[in-house]
Amino acid sequence: MPSFSGRFARSAARWIPPRLSREFAGPAAVFFHGVEAAPEGLDKIHHRADIFFDIAKSLKRHFDVLPMAAMRDVLKNPSRHARALFITFDDGYANTKLAADILENLDLPWTLFVSTHHIETGARNPAFLARLFFHHAPSGEYAIPHLGRIILGTAAQRELQVNTGLNALKFLDAARAHEALAMMLANFAPDALARLLEEFPSEKFLDWAELRALAKRGVEIGAHAHRHWPMHAGQSREYLTEQARKPREMIEAQIGRCRFFAYPFGTPADVSADAHAAVRDAGYEFAFTTVSGTLTASADPWLMPRYGVGLEETALASMIGLLRANNARLISWQRKLAPVSA
């Protein structure tokens, strides 16, 4: 959920002409998740195709949309590239093929960050599976390892668990989160779970053949960790090292060079100092968070800002011009997390 300041900025952006906003803009990166003709899903992260088309046209009209390979040149002199913009997608959902069609039609370059475990196996996003349990498990009381007693019945009870239970799950270490999620899914009959998964096709992932086809069309393929799970301070260094190194190795074996990384979830609570070090040491040129801001020469290369585009963003061109207002907060966090390299 956007912060109060984020909601305020989005509201204010509706009243600022893009031409005026550009006077204050700096180079920036934005991110999406998926594009559907008629979105469905529990996560509500996929843009409707017609809205995404309008957003993409607006970005093309108001900015210089560049390939990720231009990032180093942009950062050498950001003031000369104040209109530079980088479009990215996270996770690797199958519906990014529709995004590819739209962006290719508009001749806009973009980068896709993929979680390789899900590309390799087709396993759904763990956060989606947890929401599936909270929303659709039979009514009753459950004892979930590491989460305790969970009561599901009324709509209010289920919504409460989506908000509190999912947050508690995310802050477990990976092994305990896996145990908890396995118990959640064990409460569905296999055929019932299979039917539920088919109700949400937007949550399906690309496979390697589809990813190779996108790469051949010019899409830059980056890493979004191996498993789509937070890289916070509760995770072991061994886990974080695997999260950073393994996706690069797999992408380079299957696709080609992999130079860029995006942290799953990517908020300050989801990225630890050890995660930063693991990503840096894995050899990535740049890594991206989901903290808003503009791209500056002084930014830590492995804690770069990105702005998450709302599902019905109506003033994105103006909003991007306001991202500079968050730079002080961004740089403060970068220096606190990685004081040597910041």
Which of these three, 177, 198, 219, is where a domain ends? 198
Please state, for a pLDDT cut of 90, what percent of the chain lies above it: 83
Q: What is the pLDDT of residue 1?
A: 43
Decide if 297 contacts 78 (C-beta within 8 A).
yes
Are 233 and 285 in a shared domain?
A: yes
**Could you list the residue range(s) of the whole structural domain that residue 131 is in?**
126-198
The pLDDT of 297-318, averaged and rounded, is 92
Q: What is the pLDDT of residue 50?
A: 96
Are 219 and 109 in a shared domain?
A: yes
* Domain assignment present for 115: yes
Residue 8 confidence class, pLDDT cut points 50, 70, 90: very low
Pairing of strands 148-152, 140-144: antiparallel
Which of these three, 198, 213, 237, is where a domain ends? 198
Per-residue pLDDT of 96-142, as tens digits, reads 999 999 999 999 999 999 999 999 999 999 999 999 999 999 999 99
Are 308 and 214 in a shared domain?
A: yes
Any idea which residue has 């974080």 for tokens? 240
The pLDDT of 39-55, averaged and rounded, is 89
Are 182 and 219 in a shared domain?
A: no
Are 186 and 225 in a shared domain?
A: no
* Domain assignment present for 87: yes
Are 224 and 269 in a shared domain?
A: yes
The pLDDT of 278-285, averaged and rounded, is 98
Are 117 and 242 in a shared domain?
A: yes
Are 16 and 109 in a shared domain?
A: yes
| CA nearest to 31, candidates 100, 101, 107, 85 | 85
Per-residue pLDDT of 160-204, as tens digits, reads 989 899 999 999 999 999 999 999 999 999 999 999 999 999 999
Residue 85 confidence class, pLDDT cut points 50, 70, 90: very high
> What's the farthest any 2 CA atoms get from each other in the chain?
60
* Domain assignment present for 176: yes
Residue 44 confidence class, pLDDT cut points 50, 70, 90: confident
Are 35 and 157 in a shared domain?
A: no
> Which H or E run contains 64?
strand 64-65
Decide if 46 contacts 35 (C-beta within 8 A).
yes
Which of these three, 147, 176, 198, is where a domain ends? 198
* Domain assignment present for 342: no
Are 97 and 141 in a shared domain?
A: no
CATH code at 65? Answer: 3.20.20.370
Are 71 and 173 in a shared domain?
A: no
Residue 340 confidence class, pLDDT cut points 50, 70, 90: low
Question: Which residues touch 63 (CB under 8 Å, ≥6 apart)?
Answer: 83, 84, 85, 317, 320
Q: What is the pLDDT of residue 5?
A: 47
Q: What is the pLDDT of residue 291?
A: 97
Q: Supply the Cα-derived Rg of the chain in whole angstroms.
A: 20
* Domain assignment present for 320: yes
Per-residue pLDDT of 238-270, as tens digits, reads 999 999 999 999 999 999 999 999 999 999 999
* Domain assignment present for 259: yes
Instruction: Indicate the number of domains in the chain.
Output: 2
Q: What is the pLDDT of residue 14?
A: 56
Q: What is the pLDDT of residue 286?
A: 98
Are 271 and 329 in a shared domain?
A: yes
